[in-house]
Amino acid sequence: MVTGTFLVNDHYACILFDSGAEKSFMSTAFTPFIDIAPVALNSSSEVELADGKVVSTNTVL
């Protein structure tokens, strides 16, 4: 894993790259800063956060 601060659409984002992960996720708090409309899926994915909390999402960018 590698972490760092990177520019995404001219906004700084703290990013964790995990080459063993099947998918990548971003906080919904960041979506106002990018010019991509979210799309709802028919199925959802569970995501375990760094604090151990598990959240479910069915939205992709």
pLDDT digits (tens, 9 = 90+) for 9-40: 888 988 888 888 888 888 878 888 888 888 99
Q: Where does the pLDDT of residue 56 fall: very low under 50, low under 70, confident under 90, or very high at 90 and above?
A: very high
| HSE-up of residue 21 (Cα within 13 Å, Cβ side) | 10
Give the amino acid at 56.
S
pLDDT of residue 44: 94
The answer to whether the CB of 37 falls within 8 A of the CB of 60 is no
Residue 1 tokens read as 């894993």
Number of separate domains in the chain: 1
Full domain range(s) for residue 8:
2-60
Please give the model's pTM, rounded to 2 decimal places.
Answer: 0.57
